[in-house]
Amino acid sequence: MSHPLIETKLFLPSPRPGLVPRPRLRERLDRGLAAKLMLVSAPAGFGKSTLLVDWLASAALRPGAGVLKAAWLALDPADNDPSRFWRYVVAALRNAVPDIGEDALALLQDSQPPPVELALTTLLNELAAAEADTVLVLDDYHVIDSPAVHEGMAFLLAHLPARLHLVLATRSDPPLPLSRLRARGDLVEVRAVDLRFTGEEASSYLNGVMGLGLEPDDVHALEGRTEGWIAALQLAALSMTGREDVSGFIAGFTGDDRYVVDYLVEEVLQRLPGNVQDFLLRTSVLDRMSGSLCNAVTGQEGGRAVLEALERDNLFVIPMDDRRVWYRYHHLFADVLRGRLLDEQPGLVPQLHQLAAGWHEEEGDVEEAIGHYLIGTDFARAGELMERVIPALRRDRREATLRGWLESLPTEALRVRPVLSNALAGARMSTGVFDGVEELLDATESSIASVGGRPSSLLFVDEEEYGRLPADIAVHRAGLALVRGDVEQTVTHARRALDLVGDDDPLTRGAALALTGLAAFSTGDLDTAHASYTACIVEFETIDHVSDVLGCSVTVGDIEVVQGRPRAAARTYRSALDLADRHATPVLRGRADMHVGLAARHLEADDLAAARQQLSRSRDLGEPAGLPQDAYRWRVVMAGVREAEGDVDAAVDLLDEAERLYVADFQPLVRPVPAVRARTWARQGHVDLALDWADRARVTLEDPLSFLREFEHVTLARVLLAQQGRRPGSVDVAAVVTFLDRLLRAATHGHRGGSVIEIEVSRALAFQQLGDQGKALAALDAALALAEPEGHARAFVDEGTPMAVLLTAAERRAPSAYVARLRSALAGTGRTAPGPATTGPHPGALVDPLSSRERDVLRLLDTELNGPEIARELVVSLNTVRTHTKNLYMKLGVTSRRAAVLRGKELDLL
């Protein structure tokens, strides 16, 4: 649903006449030109926008000032849509620098979802070559709460060209890396305490601009009562105009901000003619106003003339374009007007919204119309418009918008519109919300059944869409069953959907086949899962749903990896990328996931450079090109790369991020991030941390076996073997072997070759600890026989010195190029000696005791503070903190922050 941009949002307001000069703030903003970000953050009514407009207008007039181009964007809540937000940003910049942004705008307009980072990269490269400085002002940034938009802004800040200066005007601090920017001197801030009028500025405004002739004591009293709050001073000045007892008014002027505004606006409104008051109240329901729209809402003509008069009288009306066509009220003024309208004429509010909705509908702005119809409680019309736009919203993957609308409808409206109630069930599930879905499906089926084959009492726009409901409901029920772990019911509902749907509906057939495949996958029936997903891909290719093909390819690749066929997985990813390359859309959702899948395959083959290259390609495509799981998968693979490169701290940090970013979906979780992290800890000698994971995960050697816990069970065996290696005699290794034998039989029976390789490697290490060299080499031979055709490497290389010993023995017995390559790779890691111990002597036994400052750093490592924050706490540089950290790591014999804290506690240093 691509809409033309509203040009008024890009209009740079003109400086207001009679402004109070504020050189101290201009100078601060001037200094901001040397920083990456200027943050103007204060509550409403503190003159943020006014200050920025004045600064931009005056900057070019000052002696010695260079060319400074200004790009302005007034944000509203609808800009939380990343596609809309970045299109407006590019358009604003093009207003200032017309010869840039064409390619970026094309990418954002033609792609669903938009390739934000790719588009920004293109844009930033062009801006880097600009000859003049450009200031980009994003006004009212506090309306943005979309994590995707904030991530894009963080990317923009991280790569900001020297000649581009970003300014955010906001009522609250945004979730951007402000601490980091502040520490690096890349942030200039203007806050409420800075924006407040000083006594001198208040006097200049009240007596100079407004001409009130107040005595110094009165100015001081009013400035003190308002605490320099500019909006309150403006309202007070309007209320005092024409009064004889100004001192009495000021003496009675009291209360907190909200009551002050209410009181003053009431005073202002009471002095206006009745027709103007009525106009203000009726049009307060509008976020932006034109003369024509005001006429529709008020039922009167002359709306444009009234708006122009209000602007001339400084009644908080702000023009939004040069032609004075669109206006808006000052936010505080609008809030108070709306409150007064609700108090005085609550029954009028729905009527006004319905009138506004009708105007927007006639103008073709369906989304604005739906919003007003919902507030105006015309649910019938809102529902009809929603049904018309559902296909477009699905196409654009705007399920969150659809869900918000649908959840605003009353139960009765959904009951008579089964297409909408079914759509709400789907929208909730697609956004990870399953509460109430079954009730919605039950209600939808009941409403259909209650009218039999003659749905005359039901409302729907598209009869074909109504006819698809039974199959669609069956698909939704299959998804619910899968989330609940009920494989049998998943298959039952999916098969029912396939029976109900015709051959002419590949979308529903594909969804049903996918759920059938996922049910099989969750039980370890990989052959069935693979066959179902292959058929699903065929269905989606038939209707050119390339993003769905990419999504299915992720699962097919996962299945092939568990089967022990990583090369087949790589072919699956490359085939999907070839299909995407042939598609007209530059960036499709799921393309980034293909690169992550290829990176994982390169990592397993020990080609770290190729893995990094694929991860970079994925990152360059940007978050919108990835499926919901892409963010966590990317970090898991990159963690493997960083560990392979020897940076264990970075690896663990990435795994921590991955765990936070994981979002459950319909696909079975076969490699939980905590188990991946436990393997890393075990490999690095941090056995206690790995054992803590086993306790939390509640995995034991006596557990019944299941495919979904297979990775965790193999991980438990690895952890126990690591414990035995560090603390001989602490583990019953024979019991571990028995457990591994059980796992081997189950994995072999399920044709899970990938698991078999891991289990055989673990058995080889266990037999080695038992001193049975023959069985150890037999298990290793079995693993090598499966691994060599597929090019596995990290499954062996990650095991360090014990594996090096076994590989050496294997090569002596039967020389092999593959084994020689593994030995060479293992030698290149430097991990041919045991990791640091997790137990040790009492603090007095430390060979090199910690210094006082190192103890301070260790104490702060046991907090939530990051590096720059620790530096500020200790009043030292970040480099100094890093030096102390490196020294204490060396003294404690650890390689990570977590291990340092744990070791410190063991030694009573904390």
The tens digit of pLDDT for each residue in 459-500 reads: 776 777 788 889 999 999 999 999 888 999 999 999 999 999
> What is the model's pLDDT at position 111?
58
Annotate 5-39 with DSSP letters as a single string.
Answer: --GGGG--PPPPTTPPP-HHHHHHHHHGGGSSEEE
Q: Which residue would you say has higher pLDDT here, 909 or 733?
A: 733
Two tokens, residue 867:
């590096």
The model's confidence at residue 663, banded by pLDDT at 50, 70 and 90, is: confident
Instruction: Tell me the percentage of the chain whose pLDDT exceeds 90.
Output: 45
Neighbours of 697 (CB within 10 A): 17
Instruction: Tell me the percentage of the chain whose pLDDT exceeds 70.
Output: 90
Residues 6+ apart with CB under 8 A from 679: 690, 715, 718, 719
Average pLDDT over residues 791-820: 91
Average pLDDT over residues 692-697: 94
Mean pLDDT of the chain: 85
Question: pLDDT of 781-803, one tens digit each?
Answer: 999 999 999 999 999 999 988 89
Average pLDDT over residues 522-546: 91
Weakest-pLDDT range from 28-37, 51-60, 250-259, 593-602: 250-259
> What is the model's pLDDT at position 840?
36
Length of the chain: 910
What is the third-level CATH fold of 843-906? Answer: Arc Repressor Mutant, subunit A (1.10.10)
Computed on alpha carbons and rounded to an integer, the radius of gyration of the chain in Å comes to: 33
Q: Which CATH number fits domain 7-195: 3.40.50.300, 3.30.530.20, 2.40.110.10, 3.20.20.70?
A: 3.40.50.300
Average pLDDT over residues 341-366: 93
Q: Which residue would you say has higher pLDDT here, 425 or 213?
A: 425
User: Which amino acid type is present at position 672?
Assistant: P
3-state secondary structure of 100: coil
Instruction: Quote the distance between the C-alpha of residue 171 and its chain's center.
Output: 21
Arch. (CATH architecture) of 468-543: Alpha Horseshoe (1.25)
> What is the model's pLDDT at position 265?
66
Average pLDDT over residues 96-109: 86
Question: pLDDT of 272-297, one tens digit each?
Answer: 788 888 999 999 999 899 999 999 99
Q: Which residue would you say has higher pLDDT here, 82 or 677?
A: 677
Weakest-pLDDT range from 149-153, 216-220, 366-370, 562-566: 216-220
Q: Which residue would you say has higher pLDDT here, 106 or 306?
A: 306
> What CA–CA distance (Å, rounded) separates 831 from 829?
5
Weakest-pLDDT range from 3-7, 407-411, 687-691: 3-7
Kindly report the backbone phi and psi dihedral angles of residue 134, in degrees, each rounded to the nearest multiple of 5, phi listed first. Answer: -125, 135
> What is the model's pLDDT at position 879?
75
Q: In what order do the strands lie in the sheet with 326-329?
A: 289-290, 326-329, 317-319
Neighbours of 572 (CB within 10 A): 27
Two tokens, residue 725:
């290696």
Two tokens, residue 409:
């409808």
> What is the model's pLDDT at position 713?
97
Over 90: is that where the pLDDT of 400 sits? no
Question: pLDDT of 217-226, one tens digit each?
Answer: 888 887 876 6
Q: Mapped to the 3 state alphabet, what secondary structure does 535-561 carry?
A: HHHHHHHHCCCHHHHHHHHHHHHHHHH
> What is the model's pLDDT at position 703?
94
> What is the model's pLDDT at position 508?
87
> CB–CB of 297/356 below 8 Å?
yes
> CB–CB of 752/526 below 8 Å?
yes
The model's confidence at residue 909, banded by pLDDT at 50, 70 and 90, is: confident
> What is the model's pLDDT at position 481?
93
Nearest of 227, 55, 40, 231 to residue 142 by alpha carbon: 40
> What is the model's pLDDT at position 830?
53
For the chain, the farthest-separated pair of C-alpha atoms sits apart, in whole angstroms, at 109
Average pLDDT over residues 379-399: 81
> What CA–CA distance (Å, rounded) separates 885 from 864?
16
Annotate 831-898 with DSSP letters as a single string.
Answer: --S----S----GGG-SSPPPHHHHHHHHHHTSS--HHHHHHHHTS-HHHHHHHHHHHHHHHT-SSHH
Average pLDDT over residues 632-649: 92
Q: Which residue would you say has higher pLDDT here, 414 or 756?
A: 756
* DSSP letter (8 states) at residue 204: I
> CB–CB of 580/550 below 8 Å?
yes
Two tokens, residue 775:
């069985």
Annotate 385-404 with DSSP letters as a single string.
Answer: HHHHHHHHHHHTT-HHHHHH
Q: Which CATH number fits domain 669-829: 3.40.50.920, 3.30.465.10, 1.25.40.10, 3.40.50.300?
A: 1.25.40.10
> What is the model's pLDDT at position 762?
97
User: Which amino acid type is present at position 603?
Assistant: L
Weakest-pLDDT range from 304-313, 571-580, 649-658: 304-313
> What CA–CA distance (Å, rounded) separates 882 from 886?
6
> What is the model's pLDDT at position 395?
59
> What is the model's pLDDT at position 168?
96
